[in-house]
Amino acid sequence: MEKRKLGNTGFEVAPLALGGNVFGWTADETTSFGLLDAFVGAGFNLIDTADSYSRWVPGHQGGESESIIGRWIAQRSGATMAQVALAWLMRRPSVTAPIASATSVAQLGELTAAAYLRLDPDAIRALDQASA
């Protein structure tokens, strides 16, 4: 499959983006995970998401699709969303050390485990693209 440059970012993306607007709304978490697995498994790497998706649905606040994508990435690594987010931040060249607060020893243990988490290159690319 021929990839395309994503603006001036240096990223190359597949020629089809998967709309994440259905995640947590018309596609439950299990279905969303299956869609994401199949999409990435087919060689695609661009997922559209916005925290306003499904905000209009009674009982939703927005951000449901991002939460599902975060749990899906937490893809693969066997880690919590907080650990994935911190591990990704720790690997960014522009970040010396992210700041994270804890209110319990258990929470601190979860946060410090992020320093030992190694995200694979696909996960780092997905997180980079999601934050662009």
CA of residue 66 relative to chain centroid, distance: 7
At 9-65, the pLDDT tens digits run 777 889 999 998 888 888 999 999 999 999 988 999 888 887 777 767 777 777 788
Domain count, the chain: 2
Residues 117 and 68 in one domain: no
Q: So what's the pLDDT on residue 18?
A: 94
**Residue 54 domain boundaries:** 1-73
Burial of 14 (0-12, 13-18, 19+ CB in 10 A): middle
Q: Is the pLDDT of residue 7 over 70?
A: yes
HSE-up (13 A, CA, CB side) for residue 25:
21
Q: How far is Cα 64 from Cα 54, in angstroms, rounded to an integer? A: 7
Among 44, 73, 102, the domain-final residue is 73
Among 73, 101, 116, the domain-final residue is 73
Residues 29 and 7 in one domain: yes
> Side chain identity at 23, as an amino acid letter?
F
At 84-115, the pLDDT tens digits run 889 999 988 888 999 999 999 999 999 999 99
pTM of the model: 0.64
Q: How far is CA 112 from CA 18, 107, 120, in A?
A: 33, 9, 19
Q: So what's the pLDDT on residue 132?
A: 66
Residues 84 and 131 in one domain: yes
